[in-house]
Structure 1
Amino acid sequence: MNKPALAIVVPCYNERDVLHETAKQLKEVLNALISEGLISPNSKIVFVDDGSRDETWRLIEEEKSGSEHISGVKLSRNFGHQGALLAGIHSAKLWYDCIITIDADLQDDIHVIRDFIIQYQNGAEIVYGVRKSRSTDSFFKRATAQAYYKFMRKLGIDLIYNHADFRLMSKRAVRVLEDFEERNMFLRGIVPMLGFKSEVVYYDRKERFAGETKYPLKKMMAFAFNGLTSFSIVPIRIVSLIGVLSFCLSFLTGVYAVVQKLLGHTESGWTSIIISVWIIGGLMLMSVGLIGEYIGKIYWETKRRPAYIIETDLTDDDQES
Structure 2
Amino acid sequence: MDLPIRPRRNRRTEAIRGLVRETELTAAHLIYPLFLHAGTADQPIDSMPGCTRWSLAGLVKEAGEAHALGIPAIVLFPAISDKLKTKDAREAWNAKGLVPKAIAALKKAHPTLTVITDVALDPYNTDGHDGLVADDGRILNDETVAALVKQALCHATAGADIVAPSDMMDGRVAALRSALDKAGFQDVAIMSYTAKYASAYYGPFRGALDSAPKFGDKKTYQMDYANAREALREASLDEAEGADIMMVKPAVPYLDVIYRLRQHSPLPVAAYHVSGEYLMIKAAAASGWLDEKKIVLETLTSIRRAGADMILTYFAKDVATWQSEGR
Same fold (TM over 0.5): no
Name the structure, 1 or 2, with higher relative contact order (CA <8 Å, separation 6+).
Answer: 1
Pick the structure with greater CA Rg.
Answer: 1
Which one has a larger percent helix, Structure 1 or Structure 2? 1
Name the TM-score, length of structure 2 as normaliser.
0.25
